[in-house]
Amino acid sequence: MFEQLVDGIFWNIALIVFFVGVTWRLITVLVLRSKRIDYSVARNSGVSGAIMANIRGFYPRKEVSGRIRLQVIAGYMFHLGFFVVLFFAAPHVKFIAQNITGFTYMTIPYWGFIVASEIAFAGLILLWLHRLLNPVTRLISKRSDHIATILVFVVMLTGCMALGEASSELRVLHRFSVELLMVYFPFSALMHAFMFIPSRAFTGVLLGRRGVNV
Amino acid sequence: MSTPLERGVDMLKSQVDARVESYFSSCTHCGVCAEACLFYTETDDPRYTPIYKTEPLRKVWQQNFTLWGKLSTSLGLSKPMTENDLSDWETLVYDGCSMCSRCTMVCPVGIDIAYLIRKVKEGMAAAGFVPEGLQGASERALKFGSPMGLTSKGLLSAVGQQKKEHDIDIPVDVVGAEYLVMLSSNEVVLYTEFLTAISKIFSAAGITWTVSSKYFEATNTGVQMGDSVIAAQLLERLLEVATELKIKTVVSPECGHAYTTFRWDGPNILGRELPFNVVHIMELLDQLRKDGKLKTTGSFDERLTYHDPCNISRRGGVLEQPRNLLNQVAPNFVEMNDKKEMNWCCGGGGGVSSNERAEPLRLQVFNVKKRQLDELDVTTMVTACSNCRTMLEEGLEENEMDIEVVSITELIADHLA
Amino acid sequence: MTGIKDKKSARMRKAVYCCVLSLLFVLAAPLIPYVIDAHAEDVTSSKANKPVALQHPGINLWNDVRQRNEVTQGSSQVKGVDSGILINKTGEDWRRFRMEMLMPYGAYFMAAIVTAIVLFFLLRGKLRLPGGRSGELVCRFTLNQRTAHWFAVGIFWLLGITGLILLYGRFVLIPLLGADGFSITASACKEMHNLIGPLFLLAVLALLVLYIKDNFFNRDDITWITKGGGMFGGHVSAARFNAGEKTWFWLVMIFGFLLCITGLILDFSVFGQGREIMALSHVIHGISALILITVSFGHIYLGTIGVEGTLEGMTTGYVDANWAKSHHDLWYEEMSATAEEQQGIKQSVASSSTKPASSPAGD
Ligand code: SF4
Ligand code: SF4
């Protein structure tokens, strides 16, 4: 019963909420409210600034890198590990092919999958601890940041439980937690996964037009 | 009559645009911005975390522009904004932020935090939570034309005195001059050498220029306070004068926020393009140097360094020009460790310098500058903003450091061929 | 006619008996060594009875198969570790150890320590801060140290709980969830334990690097130990870490690394380790884990409800000066001395105003 719901209607709801929600929020930013143009005379191209800022944002500035080592290392561990597992683990590739795209692509070997998920686990735990232990992040973190972290952690943990592919209950549990995460996604700080691009672009345009090295 | 709270909240609501939406949606509360802000690094107080300073705007956005927020507000689940949500932030945004935008450069998701803080100030100003010092300055600016209360009469007498003392020419209100030079009151009252210096340089270069007795003030307290209405009123005066004098290029003096205001923010505050070009005095000097019109001789042999004014380098994009000029006259020019678009602020930007209440904090955060200078062992520090200059001098004096602060224009003028 | 017929059937019967008997003998032959073995002592001790050397021709083969005399490797077409071994004798030893020693004694050990802690708490109660709070804060652990600690805690308990379920789960969970439910739980726990396991090495290494500095034993520790750590009254001096904390640190290091090494051997069976090494690893793994889990009860007790003002050192990084004075006076003196040197007491001894702000009600 529950299994059918999770595989059927719940999944469809989650998929719709996720895609409609994310698109709607991106549209809000990109179309509905960006009427404003800049009246100042540009020194350099804003578009190249936007592109540069999007690239530049991937590595920390040396002036602060010493102070944010933990965030950078743990951040990269989590994000890289997570993406490798999400998009290249064999069960996921198979699932995506069956349910969304219809075609398969390269998968990583099992050991790569295990190493990647271990790195992701370590990264996520470290990031969350940093959030709780650093006075700055403890002060500025919102409830939604914690909920998002916990949801991602649960998704990863249930995924790990289902690794043995010993029973369909565990697989259903994993899928259900994924669905919860997808429904929560568009309304939370998880949106940064998409929003960082327009954000960097906005700032990049400003700095690029002014000729500041980004 | 609406309450201060309502006025503040309404103003904050009106501030939400695509950038605000995108920025708040992408903040992961990672805390990286704190590590770039001198008010946090020097105090270790997490409340000075840049993104935390934007809390009032974030709350308004969250409650009025997000689905969850709207839902829980209509269900009465979220706490409504209170006056304390604004008043408690007054010291954070006016005393604890110099609008240096260093935080903007390090945010991993690219949030322009300084832009958000500027908008918070807009709401604070509307609600009336502005420090007395700034309030007074803006009243004086509207009344007399300058935040220091300096009138045209004061300017004229200063000009006359300089002319007499140094036997130089300072054109006033010349119609059709190539350049209109704006001044900050600082430069009229305190650092009078500046007028002498540009006069010397310009006559050597053979270009026509003028100052306006009607409206000469380069600084804009409206911008510092975060009040766009006042800012626009002050800008309109500049436009009026420039049109009257048929000016093609307005020269921003050695003042950081004057430059960004004229060059970058002004047109957007007014909502239209300006009918003239804007250059910073350093851009102009470097251009003259390139054109061969500015020749120097001799050298300044003391060990010196250059302090990047935030609004000119990080927010203005004038990065190489001062260095080109310095390399021409100062063989012992050394760079600070964090420079150019990652320089550390003097601590007095964004109106902090006109806010007496903030002085102890300002001197505390000067520590970062002190550390930078201690590493270098210099005797002279050059800068290109008279506000920075005052702040640096005060900070050095407080720390009993024997370093002289000079203006780059003056340094060049002293070495004219 | 009938006579011939009778003779015939009698012969037939005899033949069948013979067949059955010889079959029985063949089947029973391998058992003979057991009997001999069982009586070997009797036989050799009573010299009157000469041992009967009754050897079945297959006995050597069978002894080899059961690995009775020595570990022997056969050969097989199947290529793989231990594929030359038909029956692993050590497996039975290992199974016995696990079922009859590790599980019951481990449980007794844990129960005993928990009881001792509860009794101690009932008798002594919470150790209060002498003189209350001073409001002055001393920095005890850096952000990195705290992160490493809680990282280790998280990993340790993820592994601890899944490990305990694998060891004891059957007693509690089969009645609760049924056999199917337990099999799912066990499979999930095994996967989690195996996946998260290697991270414990990371945690232990981080603890080693970040905490080793103040954890070497010295003469003061002897005094501390002889005075019972002040647990029964009286003041004892201690530096940044007292002898108890140092012991805990080294226990974590020793058994932590043992857990990691044996765990990796068990987790990644691709490096040619045979069953015997695996069984041995498992034994060490189980003992080390139970020791660390049990001692951690004491550590948790002392760090939380046992001694007032301790936990905040690990959460906020700061402890009250009175706490430092009463539990780690030597360290406190050292800290105030350096703080005075740096004048202003800003860096290491912070005033309460810079106490990290508490988390606001967020949304
Ligand atoms: S650095 Fe950027 S993403 Fe991180 S807390 Fe600050 S504003 Fe938010
Ligand atoms: S603009 Fe400068 S002073 Fe203000 S919060 Fe950002 S880094 Fe700090």
Contacts of B294 (CB under 8 A, 6+ apart): B201, B204, B205, B285, B288, B412, B416
User: What single-letter DSSP state applies at residue B92?
Assistant: I
Both B152 and B110 in a single domain? no
Q: Is B57 helix (H, G, I), strand (E, B) or coil?
A: helix
- Asked whether residue A99 is assigned to any structural domain, the reply reads yes
**Length of chain B (residues):** 417
| Residues B308, B341: Cα–Cα separation, whole Å | 8
Upper half-sphere CA count for residue B24 (Cβ side, 13 Å): 29
In short, whether B30's Cβ falls inside 6 Å of ligand 1 is yes
User: How many CA within 13 A on the CB side of residue B350?
Assistant: 29
pLDDT score at C13: 67
Mean pLDDT, chain B, as a whole number? 88
In chain A, residues 105-124 whose CB comes closer than 8 Å to chain C: 114, 117-118, 121-122
Atom of ligand 1 nearest to the CA of B28: 3
- CATH at B310: 3.40.50
Asked if residue A42 is part of any domain, the answer here is no
Are B281 and B137 contained in the same domain? yes
What is the structure's pLDDT at C79?
67
For residue C236, what are its two tokens?
Answer: 């004892």
pLDDT of residue B25 exceeding 60: yes
Both B163 and B83 in one domain: the answer is: no
Q: Are B11 and B56 in contact (CB under 8 A)?
A: no
CB C72 within 8 A of CB C87: no
Which one of A161, A187, A188 makes the best mutation probe of the C interface by having the most chain C beta carbons within 10 Å? A161
DSSP A186: G
Q: Alpha-carbon distance B121 to B224, whole Å?
A: 9
In chain C (363 residues long), the average pLDDT of successive 10-residue segments reads: 59 64 59 49 52 73 72 68 69 84 90 92 84 85 93 95 92 85 89 93 95 87 79 73 90 95 87 80 92 93 88 90 86 81 47 38 40
B124 pLDDT above the threshold of 70 = yes
Burial class (CB in 10 A: 0-12, 13-18, 19+), A88: middle
Whether residue B110 and residue A196 make contact (CB cut-off 8 A), yes or no, is yes
pLDDT of B4: 85
Question: In angstroms, rounded to a whole number, what is the distance separating the alpha carbons of residues A120 and A160?
Answer: 12
CB of B414 less than 8 A from some CB of A: no
Paired strand residues for B381: B305, B405
Share of chain B above pLDDT 70, in %: 100
B104 pLDDT higher than 70: yes
> What's the pTM value of the predicted model, to 2 decimals?
0.85
Residues of A in contact with C267 (CB under 8 A): none
Q: For residues C26 and B386, which has the higher predicted lDDT (pLDDT)? A: B386
Query: How high is the pLDDT of residue B215?
Result: 84
Quote the number of domains for chain A. 1
Q: Is-contact A148 C174, C-beta < 8 A? A: no
Name the band, by pLDDT with cuts 50, 70 and 90, for residue B301.
confident
Question: Any idea which residue has 């709607």 for tokens?
Answer: A24
Residue with CA closest to ligand 1 atom 6 = B33
Residue A184, pLDDT score: 94
Considering only CB atoms, A167 lies closest to which of C151, C184, C316, namely: C184
In chain C, where the domains are located: 135-153+198-342
CB contact under 8 A, C357 and B47: yes
Read off the tokens for C31. Answer: 């058992």
Last residue of a domain, one of B96, B129, B162: B129
ipTM of the prediction: 0.92
Query: Which of B44, B47, B78 is the closest to C363 by Cβ?
Result: B78
Task: Provide the β-strand partners of residue B407.
Answer: B383
Quote the minimal CA–CA distance from A8 to chain C in Å: 23
pLDDT given at position A122: 95
Sheet containing C137-139: give its strands across: C318-320, C137-139, C349-350
pLDDT at residue B47, rounded to an integer: 94
Q: What is the CATH number of the domain that holds B74?
A: 1.10.1060
Check whether A75 has a pLDDT greater than 70.
Answer: yes
Q: Do B62 and C363 touch (CB under 8 A)?
A: yes
What's the pLDDT at C9?
Answer: 67
Residue nearest to atom 5 of ligand 2 (CA): B50
For residues A207 and C220, the model is more confident at: A207
Contact A152/A180 with Cβ under 8 angstroms? Answer: no
What are the pLDDT digits (tens) for B338-362?
Answer: 988 899 999 988 888 888 888 899 9
Are B274 and B153 in the same domain? yes
pLDDT of B223 > 90? The answer is no
pLDDT of the residue at B137: 81
Give the pLDDT of residue C33: 47
Q: How many residues in chain C?
A: 363
Which pLDDT value is given to residue B102?
A: 94
Domain boundary among B99, B129, B159: B129
Which residues share a beta bridge with C139?
Answer: C318
Q: Is B47 helix (H, G, I), strand (E, B) or coil?
A: helix
Q: What is the pLDDT of residue C360?
A: 38
Which of B129, B163, B187 is at the close of a domain? B129
Q: What is the CATH number of the domain that holds A90?
A: 1.20.950.20
The boundaries of the domain holding residue B95 are 4-129
Q: Which residues of C touch B44 (CB under 8 A)?
A: 350, 354
CATH value of C135-153+198-342 in 3.40.50.720, 1.20.950.20, 3.30.465.10, 3.40.800.20:
1.20.950.20
pLDDT digits (tens, 9 = 90+) for A38-48: 888 888 888 88
pLDDT at C90: 73
Same domain, residue pair B151 and B251? yes
Domain that holds residue A87: 2-30+66-209
Residue A35 pLDDT grade (very low, low, confident, very high; cuts 50, 70, 90): low
- Cα dihedral value C243, C248, C253, C258, nearest 10: 130
Q: Given an 8 Å threshold on Cβ–Cβ distance, is B270 in contact with A54? A: no
Q: Locate tokens 């189980």: which residue?
A: C286
Q: Are residues B373 and B404 in the same domain?
A: yes
**pLDDT tier for residue B138 given thresholds of 50, 70 and 90:** confident
B290-299, B402-411, C227-236: range with lowest mean pLDDT = C227-236
Do B305 and B395 fall within a single domain?
Answer: yes
pLDDT of residue C357: 39
| Model confidence pLDDT, tens digit, residues B306-336 | 999 999 999 999 999 999 999 888 888 999 9
Query: How distant is the alpha carbon of residue B389 from its chain centre?
Result: 12
What string of H, E and C letters represents the secondary structure of chain C?
CHHHHHHHHHHHHHHHHHHHHHHHHHHHHHHHHHHHHHHHHHHHHCCCCCCCCCCCCCHHHHHHHCCCCCCCCCCCCCCCCCCCCCCCHHHHHHHHHHHHHHHHHHHHHHHHHHHHHHHHHHHHCCECCCCCCCCCEEECCCHHHHHHHHHHHHHHHHHHHHHHHHHHHHHHHHHHHHHHHHHHHHHHHHHHHHHHHHHHHHHHHHHHHHHHHHCCCCHHHHHHHHCHHHCCCCCCCCCCCCHHHHHHHHHHHHHHHHHHHHHHHHHCCCCCCCHHHHHHHHHHHHHHHHHHHHHHHHHHHHHHHHECCCHHHHHCCEEEHHHHHHHCHHHHHHHHHHHHHCCCCCCCEECHHHCCCCCCCCC
Domain count, chain B: 3
The contacts found for C119-123 with CB under 8 angstroms, 24 or more apart, are: C121/C301, C121/C305, C121/C306
